[in-house]
Amino acid sequence: MAGTDGHHPGEGGGPVIVLVRPQLGENIGAAARAMLNCGLDRLRIVAPRDGWPSESAAASAAGADIVLDKAGLFDTTEEAVADLTRVYATTARSRDMTKPVLDPRGAVGEMRAADPDGAATGILFGPERTGLTNDESTLADVLVIAPLNPGFSSLNLAQAVLMMAWEWRMSGRESFAGRVLETGATRPATRDELLNFFAHLERELDSCGFLRPPEKRPAMVRNIRNLFLRGEPTEQEVRTLHGIVAGLTRWRGAED
């Protein structure tokens, strides 16, 4: 049976998110919000415990009503995935079944390679308390297991949806490269050291009348602080800056 969400494989819009027997409406709404944050809008819901539509889902969707309004409602997980060609099952732990396992980033990389717009791809999420049954996991090609803290791996349902939706979104982009400051023998200044310097400098700038008129002072202070912060001063350099300000202002006391 084809889905009732108005999409067909090939139409695009990223993978289908399938919530299997979700218990709390607020998690359905929060999942819809997380999906739309990441540009996904194809939601299918299998046998929600508290019925459908759901007022608590609408309240927690925070404006993602479009996702809820066109969500497909299904009696069984089989029907919800019938028209898909790739199905991934998110689960907290490995099952006793011979099935490939990938982490979320690896799984999304594979989805993008096999089905670049995700049109015929679905991701299953189980109920809050129990997760997917073995029979439901068996419907999938691949198990997706996030390498979370082994001592605390139970993720909120909407958080799990965000994780996959976010990985999907990022998989379509190039990330910026990292940028590192070489500090040599010294170390980056602490925030406290920088704030002390800013206080010193701004006290002197107030005193010489530079930070006027008063209504412009906040923006001027921000611009000056940003200028110094962009330089990412070291502890050594902050001491130098203190010395510069002290040096530049020494004559003023003498002239008074």
Within 83-142, which residues bind a copy of itself (CB under 8 A)?
83-87, 97-100, 102-103, 105-106, 109-110, 112-114, 120, 134-135, 138-141
Which of these segments, 43-51, 201-209, 215-223, 239-247, binds a copy of itself (CB under 8 A)? 215-223
Under rule CB under 8 A, residue 246 binds a copy of itself: no
The reply on whether position 38 binds a copy of itself by CB under 8 A is yes
Report if residue 195 touches a copy of itself, rule: CB under 8 A.
yes
Alpha-carbon separation of residue 146 from 13, 91, 168, 194 (angstroms)? 24, 8, 14, 39
Our CB check for a copy of itself shows the closer of 183 and 249 to be: 183
Q: Are strands 72-74 and 121-125 parallel, antiparallel or unpaired?
A: unpaired
Residue 62 in contact with a copy of itself, rule: CB under 8 A: yes
Alpha carbon of 38 to those of 27, 134, 145, 191: distances in Å?
A: 17, 29, 20, 34
For residues 166 to 185, the per-residue mask of contacts with a copy of itself, x marking binding by CB under 8 A and - elsewhere, is x--xx--x-xxxxxxx----
Q: How far apart are CA 11 and CA 21, in angstroms?
A: 26
Query: What residue type is assigned to position 104 of the chain?
Result: P
Helices 157-171 & 25-37, crossing angle to 10 degrees?
Answer: 10
Q: How many residues of this chain bind a copy of itself (CB under 8 A)?
A: 79
Asked if 46 is part of the footprint of a copy of itself (rule: CB under 8 A), the reply reads no
Quote the least distance from Cβ 21 to a copy of itself, whole Å: 18
| 155 near a copy of itself, rule: CB under 8 A | yes
Task: State which of positions 216-245 bind a copy of itself (CB under 8 A).
Answer: 218, 222-223, 225-227, 229-230, 232
Give me the least distance between CB of 180 and a copy of itself, in Å please: 5
CA angle (136, 137, 140) in 5-degree steps: 105
The angle formed by the CA atoms of residues 133, 76 and 84, to the nearest 5 degrees, is 95
- In single-letter form, the type of residue at position 136 comes to E
Spatial separation of the C-alpha atoms in residues 192 and 46, rounded to whole Å: 53
